[in-house]
């Protein structure tokens, strides 16, 4: 099976080819190709109009590159034929949401065009569930709790009765967005997360508000306090260290509570903030202390990427979870708990 994936919810114009003999598990014959063209704002944060302009220019190019790659794979012994006109893919998976509407519309238009061109089915993927499933797939874990720590989101998911339930989530801004707003305030370019990680290494811990309410958490107070601290003359390295320790301790506390409440003994990490080494270490230590297993995918599968869209697309396609073009509208507020998890039953049968 060979699936084309297209991602473009915010900053990453990305296309992927995922080829596998069995979408239910990782095999030695799995092959993942990812081509990404990232939007980097000249100043400030992600501007929706500029991001959409970037998608309009970059999506056709990355998709063409991925299709060329799929043709090469098909020619190298794949099952879909190798001629210019024969379909080198079995289906087209695209990120349907959540994300920036103008960007999503460009992705969906490209996906529909490719599906029609090769006369293959369309698969509409929830971007946040893809952040989770790529970790579940690559870890081989059965039923993990997932911490999604990304730019625009932050939530803990657990599986029950055919759905991923939101066990806890941010009450205001996404975790990466909070970090990026702080770095914007001090004049650092986007994205701020990697810079905070770098500076925190040289800092002393500076106390910031720790806000966990039940299973939910809030980042806006931390962000305001961090800006204020720098304005008051606290060394920026110390504020970065304080942000990391505070935010990641909150996420670790709620992840631990989710493991405890669900009785699960597996945790996977998803999302661009998940690339942070300190967050991975805190989650890893917590899991080790309670005898649970922890898995963080490679960086290229943590930040936004079409590989995760193609991987979940393969599982959905195998489960017959495809959509007609007329029902393929985007959903910029697509929540993970709205998704009927069709593929896990198919994996078990
Ligand atoms: P979503 O998946 O919710 O749509 P997104 O589109 O913003 O989010 P991601 O690629 O998941 O994209 O995450 C991007 C975020 O990750 C940015 O806010 C960025 O600052 C943050 N980030 C990247 N690297 C690091 C790091 N090393 N430490 C902390 N944060 C990081």
Instruction: Give the number of other CB atoms < 10 A from CB of residue 117.
Output: 12
Beta carbons of 248 and 278 less than 8 angstroms apart:
yes
Segments making up each domain of the chain, as ranges: 2-131+302-348, 142-300
Residue with the smallest CA separation from ligand 1 atom 20 is 193
pLDDT of residue 86: 78
Distance CA 176, CA 256 (A): 21
Distance CA 226, CA 231 (A): 9
Same fold, 2-131+302-348 and 142-300: yes
Nearest CA to 186 out of 173, 195, 175, 197 is that of 195
Which residues' Cβ are closer than 6 Å to ligand 1? 9-11, 99, 127, 150-153, 174, 176-177, 179-180, 191-194, 197, 271-273, 275-276, 303-304
**Per-position pLDDT tens, the chain of length 349:** 999 999 999 999 999 999 999 999 999 899 999 999 999 998 888 999 999 999 999 999 999 999 999 999 998 654 444 455 679 999 999 999 999 999 999 999 999 999 999 999 999 999 999 999 999 999 999 999 999 999 999 999 999 999 999 999 999 999 999 999 999 999 999 999 999 999 999 999 999 999 999 999 999 999 999 999 999 999 999 999 999 999 999 999 999 999 999 999 999 999 999 999 999 999 999 999 999 999 999 999 999 999 999 999 999 999 999 999 999 999 999 999 999 999 997 676 5
> What is the topology classification, in CATH, of domain 2-131+302-348?
Nucleotidyltransferase; domain 5 (3.30.420)
Beta carbons of 339 and 163 less than 8 angstroms apart:
yes
> What is the topology classification, in CATH, of domain 142-300?
Nucleotidyltransferase; domain 5 (3.30.420)
Judge if ipTM > 0.90: yes
Ramachandran area for residue 339 (φ above 0: left; ψ -120 to 50: alpha; else beta): beta
Beta carbons of 297 and 138 less than 8 angstroms apart:
yes
Residue with the smallest CA separation from ligand 1 atom 2 is 150
Cα 180 to ligand 1 centre (Å) = 9
């Amino acid at each position: 099976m060979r699936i084309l994936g297209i991602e473009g919810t915010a900053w990453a114009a990305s296309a992927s080819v995922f080829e596998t003999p069995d979408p239910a598990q990782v095999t030695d014959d799995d092959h993942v190709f990812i081509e990404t063209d990232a939007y980097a704002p000249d100043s400030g944060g992600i501007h929706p109009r500029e991001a959409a302009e970037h998608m309009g220019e970059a999506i056709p190019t990355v998709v063409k590159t991925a299709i060329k790659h799929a043709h090469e794979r098909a020619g190298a012994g794949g099952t879909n034929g190798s001629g210019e006109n024969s379909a080198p893919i079995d289906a087209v998976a695209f990120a349907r949401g959540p994300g920036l509407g103008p960007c999503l519309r460009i992705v969906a238009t490209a996906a529909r065009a490719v599906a029609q061109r090769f006369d293959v089915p369309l698969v509409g993927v929830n971007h946040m569930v893809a952040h989770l499933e790529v970790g579940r797939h690559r870890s081989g874990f059965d039923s993990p709790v997932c911490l999604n720590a990304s730019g625009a989101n932050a939530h803990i998911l657990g599986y029950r009765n055919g759905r991923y339930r939101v066990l806890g989530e941010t009450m205001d801004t996404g975790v990466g967005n909070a970090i990026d707003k702080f770095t914007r305030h001090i004049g650092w370019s986007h994205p701020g997360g990697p810079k905070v990680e770098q500076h925190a290494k040289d800092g002393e811990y500076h106390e910031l508000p720790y806000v966990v309410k039940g299973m939910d958490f809030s980042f806006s107070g931390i962000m305001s306090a961090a800006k204020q601290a720098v304005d008051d003359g606290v060394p920026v390295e110390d504020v970065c260290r304080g942000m990391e320790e505070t935010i990641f301790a909150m996420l670790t506390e709620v992840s631990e509570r989710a493991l405890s409440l669900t009785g699960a003994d597996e945790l996977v990490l998803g999302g661009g903030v998940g690339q942070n080494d300190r967050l991975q270490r805190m989650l890893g230590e917590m899991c080790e202390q309670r005898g649970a297993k922890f898995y963080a995918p490679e960086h290229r599968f943590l930040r936004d990427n079409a590989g995760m869209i193609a991987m979940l697309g393969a599982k959905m396609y195998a489960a017959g979870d495809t959509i007609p073009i007329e029902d393929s509208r985007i959903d910029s507020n697509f929540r993970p708990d709205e998704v009927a998890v069709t593929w896990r039953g198919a994996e078990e049968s």
